[in-house]
Amino acid sequence: METQSKMIEITKTKNSRINEVDFDNLSFGKVCSDHMMICDYKDGKWGTPQVLPYGPMPMEPSSKVFHYGQAVFEGMKAFKDEDGKVWLFRPEQNFNRINISAKRLAIPEFPKEYFFEALETILKLDKDWIKPGKGNSLYIRPFVIGTENGVSASPSSEYRFIIICCPAKAYYSSPVKVTIAQQYSRSADGGVGFAKAAGNYAAQFYPTNLAKEKGYQQVIWTDANTHEYLEECGTMNVFFRVGDKLLTAPTNDRILDGITRKSIIALAEDDGVEVEVRRVAVKEIVEAAKNGELKEVFGAGTAATIVPFLGFDFNEEYYELPKVENSYGSKFKTKLQDIQYNMAEDKFDWRYEVKVD
């Protein structure tokens, strides 16, 4: 059945797949909900967005995305409270960031009204895929790819913006062990580290696999020039608690401007915790671990929320972190999720209600 909203063509699925899904045993990102959005850019403008049943898309082997990597994406989540209301968390930040990423890769920016109309349309149609309760969410993946045919080394003249959704639980089910990078780099000055470009993540896989062979789940990346300063960890921003201070690296053209990161900084400052946003030296953290001042380290990101680290490896020496009662990581995860699930006051105005009924 085809219908039309304010600006979107809608074709509803005839047969929902929701009853085939075991929501208690989800592999992150493996199962997609019933509907997706596609919108094509041709002849210098974006066409009419379409919400369709989720399914494969035919593409030419010569599509530019396959040859020159013109692809950027975002990660968001929808949450359902105990009354069945559906909430997004700071979605305008995601919209702004995907267009910042797109601009860096010479991709045309996507219209704001299309973005939000598409999000709300999909969430209304697939509201039953959003399960209530802390830890449950619908992960939302907007992305855009270059679709022009031809293998000449130039920007695509055609693009497709797509939104798909996946029911999700926690990305990490337990604390992780990490190693500090000394050889490989995630990104470099003047590059695309600040953008959610697909190639950033592909470049991480090989060194991360090497770390996994040694028993570590992720890599804390260091600056490409000297490997002396700590930056990100895997797909997350990273925080260090030294004494009662919380330290995290400043954003720059190598580091993603994480939305969860910004939210934790705001929550910590509101809680009276001193936060230092500055370059954090490897030797500083190693020394703090040796003298007992390093209380905790945790990663922060949309998929992961907040993940505590058990310890870290540097120069073939493993530093185990202490078990801390009332840890900052645990405290701010609770505060963050209470806002996301409409269980606490939202003094920051971060929640965005989606009217699904």
pLDDT score, position 232: 94
Residues 244-282 as b or e (16 or more Cβ within 10 Å = b): eebbbbebeebbbbbbbbebbbbbbeeeebebeeeebeb
pLDDT score, position 170: 81
- SS3 state at 119: helix
Determine contact, residues 158/70, Cβ cutoff 8 Å: no
Backbone CA torsion sign across 62, 150, 65, 113: negative
Q: Where are the alpha helices (DSSP H) in the chain?
A: 64-68, 91-104, 112-125, 198-213, 259-270, 282-291, 328-340
pLDDT score, position 1: 43
- What is the crossing angle of helices 91-104 and 112-125, to 10°? 130
Please provide residue 334's backbone torsions phi and psi, each rounded to the nearest 5 degrees. Answer: -65, -45
Outline which parts of the chain fall under CATH 3.30.470.10. Answer: 2-168
Determine contact, residues 135/80, Cβ cutoff 8 Å: no
Outline which parts of the chain fall under CATH 3.20.10.10. Answer: 176-324
Determine contact, residues 179/219, Cβ cutoff 8 Å: yes
Amino acid identity of residue 205, one-letter, is F
Q: How far apart are CA 23 and CA 190, in angstroms?
A: 42
Determine contact, residues 72/98, Cβ cutoff 8 Å: yes
pLDDT along the chain (357 residues), means of 10: 69 97 94 98 97 97 98 98 97 98 98 97 98 96 98 97 95 89 92 94 95 96 95 93 97 93 98 98 98 97 93 97 94 97 98 95
- SS3 state at 305: strand
pLDDT score, position 357: 86
Taking the whole predicted model, whether its pTM rises above 0.85 is answered as yes
Q: How far apart are CA 145 and CA 156, in angstroms?
A: 9
**How would DSSP label each residue in 129-178?**
GS--STT-EEEEEEEEEE--B--SSS--S-EEEEEEEEEE--S-SS-EEE
Q: Which CATH number fits domain 176-324: 3.60.20.10, 3.20.10.10, 3.40.430.10, 3.30.1330.30?
A: 3.20.10.10
Q: 2-168 adopts what CATH topology?
A: D-amino Acid Aminotransferase; Chain A, domain 1 (3.30.470)
Q: How far apart are the first and last CA of the chain?
A: 19
Other C-beta atoms within 10 Å of 58: how many?
Answer: 4
